[in-house]
Amino acid sequence: MTASSASAPDRLQAVLKALQPVMGERISTAPSVREEHSHGEAMNASNLPEAVVFAESTQDVATVLRHCHEWRVPVVAFGAGTSVEGHVVPPEQAISLDLSRMTAIVELNAEDLDCRVQAGITRQTLNVEIRDTGLFFPVDPGGEATIGGMCATRASGTAAVRYGTMKENVLGLTVVLATGEIIRTG
- For the chain, what are the domain ranges? 8-98, 105-184
Q: Is the pLDDT of residue 155 over 70?
A: yes
Tell me which of 40 and 129 has the higher pLDDT. 129
Tell me which of 4 and 101 has the higher pLDDT. 101
In CATH terms, the fold of domain 8-98 is: 3.30.43
Q: Is the pLDDT of residue 133 over 80?
A: yes
Write down the pTM of the prediction.
0.92
Kindly report the CATH class assigned to 105-184: alpha beta
Q: State the pLDDT at residue 151.
A: 94
Angstrom distance (rounded) from CA 28 to CA 84: 24
Q: State the pLDDT at residue 81.
A: 86
Q: Is the pLDDT of residue 186 over 70?
A: yes
Rama region for 24: left / alpha / beta (φ>0; ψ in -120 to 50; rest): left
Q: State the pLDDT at residue 143.
A: 79
Q: State the pLDDT at residue 87.
A: 83
Give the pLDDT mean for 162-182. 95
For 143, phi and psi rounded to 5 degrees? 75, 175
Give the pLDDT mean for 106-125. 95
pLDDT band at 4 (very low <50, low <70, confident <90, very high): confident
Q: Is the pLDDT of residue 115 over 80?
A: yes
Q: State the pLDDT at residue 43.
A: 66
Give the pLDDT mean for 122-148. 93
Q: Taking CA 138 as the corner, what is the angle to CA 137 and CA 144, rounded to the nearest 5 degrees?
A: 75
Q: What is the pLDDT of residues 15-74, one digit of tens each?
A: 999 999 999 999 999 999 999 999 988 767 889 999 999 999 999 999 999 999 999 999
Angstrom distance (rounded) from CA 155 to CA 40: 15
The C-alpha torsion from 73 through 79 and 83 to 85, rounded to 10°, is -40
Q: What is the pLDDT of residues 92-110, one digit of tens each?
A: 999 999 999 999 999 999 9
Q: State the pLDDT at residue 44.
A: 75
